[in-house]
């Protein structure tokens, strides 16, 4: 019995001597950088039809919607959209003017940016210069920052992606 009592006292002392664990709070700047990086990695997964990488940015309870730069109606993104064969092959896709704006409670954000690049239309082998302005909405969840919505539109006088037949 003494042995059990000593073990219990020793365990209590050992636990009480451990430093308290603190939840590390990220700065607004660090969260912004994380969201920007998430956007780039997520979009690369879309361009490469890599659903296993894309799903790291999905939440099981969030339906993700998007609008493409061909200005067709908004739609819900599914695995089929990510892995589908596309009528184009991307040469380049570059981001600029990336800005993150937060809700007052810091639980949601909107990322705005410009995207420039070029792609080849598979049917014709024509190279097309691409230029859009875009935004994406991200939400903070217990699983990290997850995508909720994105929207792309060609910049004034520029070309987005082609319509899919």
**Tell me: the pLDDT tens digits for 123-137?**
999 999 999 999 999
Percent of the chain scored above 70 by pLDDT?
A: 84
Token pair 């896709």 in the structure block, residue: 93
Per-residue pLDDT at 1 exceeds 60: no
CB 113 within 8 A of CB 98: yes
pLDDT at position 164:
61
Per-residue pLDDT at 6 exceeds 60: no
Per-residue pLDDT at 7 exceeds 80: no
**Tell me: the pLDDT tens digits for 73-124?**
999 999 999 999 989 999 999 999 999 999 999 999 999 999 999 999 999 9
Q: Is the model more confident about 102 or about 158?
A: 102
pLDDT at position 28:
95
pLDDT at position 165:
56
pLDDT at position 26:
86
pLDDT at position 56:
97
CB 137 within 8 A of CB 148: yes
pTM of the model: 0.81
Per-residue pLDDT at 160 exceeds 90: no
138 CB neighbour count, 10 Å cutoff: 26
For residue 121 the two structure tokens come to 């239309």
Closest CA to 101 of 32, 27, 26, 30: 32
pLDDT at position 24:
59
pLDDT at position 15:
43
Structural fold of domain 28-154: Nuclear Transport Factor 2; Chain: A, (3.10.450)
List strands edge to edge, sheet with 88-102. 75-76, 65-67, 144-154, 127-141, 108-121, 88-102
């Amino acid at each position: 019995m003494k042995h059990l009592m000593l073990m219990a006292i020793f365990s209590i002392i050992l636990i009480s001597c451990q430093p308290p664990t603190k939840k590390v709070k990220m700065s607004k700047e660090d969260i912004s950088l994380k969201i920007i990086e998430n956007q780039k990695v997520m979009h690369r997964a879309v361009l490469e039809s890599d659903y296993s990488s894309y799903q790291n940015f999905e939440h099981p309870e969030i339906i993700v919607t998007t609008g493409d730069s061909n200005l067709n109606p908004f739609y819900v993104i599914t695995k089929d959209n990510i892995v589908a064969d596309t009528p184009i092959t991307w040469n380049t896709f570059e981001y600029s003017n990336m800005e993150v704006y937060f809700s007052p409670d810091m639980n949601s954000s909107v990322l705005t940016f410009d995207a420039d690049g070029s792609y080849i239309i598979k049917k014709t082998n024509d190279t097309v210069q691409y230029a859009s302005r875009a935004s994406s909405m991200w939400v903070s969840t217990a699983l990290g920052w997850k995508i909720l919505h994105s929207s792309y539109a060609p910049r004034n006088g520029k070309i987005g992606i082609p319509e899919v037949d």
